[in-house]
Amino acid sequence: MKKFYVTSVALLLGLLLSSSASAEAERRPRIEKASTASLVEQASERRDKEIEVKVQNDGERILVYVTFVVPVRPQQAWSVLTDFENIPNFISGVQTSKVTGGVGNNLQVSQRAVTQFGLFTFSFDSIREVNLSPFNKIQERMLSGNMQKMEETTILLPEGDQTRIVYQADIVPGLWILRFAGQFFIENEAREQFQQIKNEMIRRSRVFASPR
């Protein structure tokens, strides 16, 4: 089972990461969170259509960076990224997802997700504040849950008839989970799950384009 979603990626990555540092993480320099401008600059340097994933761990916090291009317009990509109520219908790792409050572009979302590693299954509940800047940016912050901190930013960048998705998560884990899960495993998990999101965006765009 390999599961999670753009608005739930940090949520499930937190289940795959330990709050204690690995030997590799201890050798890394201190990580500074990238600004929005920096994220856009990094994305502009990458024009491949594959899903690129980077995970960094300084022993106290984990930064996750993802970028990929999807052959749909920003409005179509946005409709998938913000479809909070229907996430469980197309992302198997998310069991429940509900908008529980908020007005307009400021929402409160409650989710439960499940992931499995070997013989172990873990669940994670979170309540998050979501701030939407339509067709451009989604910012999320965990209000309560199993981690000490979880902040996510998703940026949509138009590239002709396509859209580049740039995602960054800033996580401070609060659980001992799967200490032996290495960085390579985590990156592969993230890449596979973002592929699910990309597939849903493409599927919906084809349905929209099909003659009635």
Q: Is residue 118 part of a domain?
A: yes
Q: Is residue 1 part of a domain?
A: no
Q: Is residue 169 part of a domain?
A: yes
Confirm if 127 and 110 have CB atoms less than 8 A apart: yes
Q: Is residue 172 part of a domain?
A: yes
Is the full-model pTM beyond 0.85? no
- Where b means 16+ CB within 10 Å and e means fewer, 127-165 reads ebbbebeebeebebebeebbbeebbbbbbbbeeeeebbb
Q: Is residue 56 part of a domain?
A: yes
The predicted structure's pLDDT at residue 42? 54
The predicted structure's pLDDT at residue 196? 87
Per-residue pLDDT of the chain (212 residues; tens, 9 = 90+): 443 344 456 555 555 543 333 333 333 434 455 665 565 555 544 444 589 999 887 767 788 999 999 999 999 999 999 999 999 888 878 899 999 999 999 999 999 988 776 677 778 889 999 999 999 999 999 999 888 889 999 999 999 999 999 999 998 876 555 444 557 777 877 888 888 899 999 999 999 876 76
In the DSSP assignment, the letter for residue 59 is S
What CATH number does residue 205 fall under? Answer: 3.30.530.20
Domain count, the chain: 1
Confirm if 14 and 20 have CB atoms less than 8 A apart: no
Residue span of the structural domain in which 112 resides: 6-209
